[in-house]
Amino acid sequence: MAEELISTEPATGELVWRGHAGDVDAAVASARSGYARWVREPLGRRIELVRQFANAVRRHESEFAELIARETGKPLWEALTEVQSVAAKVEISITAYARRTGQTRLDSAMNGTALVRHKPHGVMAVLGPYNFPAHLPNGHIVPALIAGNSVVLKPSEKTPAVAEFLVRCYHEAGIGADVVQIVHGGPEQGKALVTHAGVDGVLFTGSARAGVAINRALASDPGKIVALEMGGNNPIVVLPTPLVEDAATLVVQSAFTTAGQRCTAARRLIVPDAFFDTLVPVVKELTDRLIVGEPLADPQPFMGPVIDNDTADQLSESFLTLISRGGRPLRHMRRIDPDLPFLEPGILDATGIAERPDIELFGPLLQVIRVADFDAAIAEANATRYGLSASLVGGAPEDFERFWTEIRAGVVNWNRPTSGASSAAPFGGIGLSGNHRPAAFYAADYCAYPVASNTMEQPRASILLGLRQG
């Protein structure tokens, strides 16, 4: 019998979903059949159907958002923004497909017509994360469908109910069950899907460790398109500014929104020594005021629990390990309930840690690093193998231009949080954050490939040189 899977609410421990691991071979075979039909649908028809999907999502907005809040633990207000992003992705993707993969035609009286058009890859495996279990896989699925691909979604085993709801919205819109389908399971099913001979592309969002494993597994298979959207050890650099409360707010938003469970969350606050005693107490005071609570509570909390108790335990242990290595606690990370994964945000001064670990601590934990000046701040910000998001707060336009030029990241902001990237722009990173295939608006690039054609309506040719006289 297939392995049983169970999903529970992080905030209460109550059962959300129960099911079994799926059959990867059967899903891929069905997707290949669905692709053969879907690819023959005119582009206009495919666009019409994904627009119907967006309408289905809007019809179920309240129900969908409540399910996301319950299964992930994120506050209802944030879950609502995720559902709205799912629906909004459709029009953005339609525009992106037209701009990024449009047709080019060059006519010549003597040489016919040169065309550049785009073809879908075939069957795309989409592997989604638990932190945005609808929005992030949907960011791959919609552009893949518009391009003409079929999709097999393998969601995180921690959020299967949300993924099922998402896929049902596609089916409600009239998109076939063999064109978009779901395979539940853990690492075993994920590996089988990634390496399956019937899969033409792998679109992944998740941890660097899992992404590197996928990259390694497919290193000898260049025929598969692979897009890896991974995590970050993201810096937010704050220069002296009179707008201290605004700067502190940007830091708190960057570090603790979604309980720090965003790939773009700020993990490191880098601040000049001369501004440390001005900024950090305000950051701490604002953090003290954050409401941590159940996702459906009234009034709404700023953040809910992390995804599960194992994650909460690992984060608590990481906080203590950093202290044992020389970190100075500024705000202790505490478990609110020993049986549930609610965490009070933790802040520590990591300046004294001789060898700071370059890892993504995926939760509400902020390390503060004091530096001498802007030169040292940029060097510290770049002291990571990751390269997803970075923000500069304060400074003049010329400071941001220098920051933008020298920082190694795919998202570089000024006086804005590290998180909250626009779906109308490319989204991705370098190093351990991605493999140079940005998502969001640029997802169209990896969902179709360009094909060049030289054409004439009638065969016409001659050989001008190198022939013997007839």
Contact 376, 358 (CB under 8 A): no
Q: Residue 93 is encoded by which pair of tokens?
A: 């993707």
Q: At what angle do helices 135-147 and 76-100 cross, to 10 degrees?
A: 20
Q: What is the dihedral of CA 55, 59, 65, 71, to 10 degrees?
A: -90
What residues does 265 pair with on adjacent strands?
none
Contact 208, 432 (CB under 8 A): yes
Angle at 130 between CA 125 and CA 135, to 5 degrees: 70
Active site residue 360: no
What residues does 92 pair with on adjacent strands?
none
Considering the candidates 9, 71, 157, 229, report the single residue annotated as catalytic. 229
Q: How many Å apart are CA 159 and CA 7, to the nearest integer?
A: 7
Active site residue 263: yes
Nearest CA-CA partner of 394 in 257, 268, 269: 269
Considering the candidates 9, 78, 157, 263, report the single residue annotated as catalytic. 263
Residue burial 303-340, b: 16+ Cβ < 10 Å; e: rest: bbbbbbbebbeebbebbeebbeeebeebbebebeeeeb
- 94 φ, ψ (degrees, to nearest 5): -65, -45
Contact 239, 394 (CB under 8 A): yes
State the catalytic residues: 229, 263
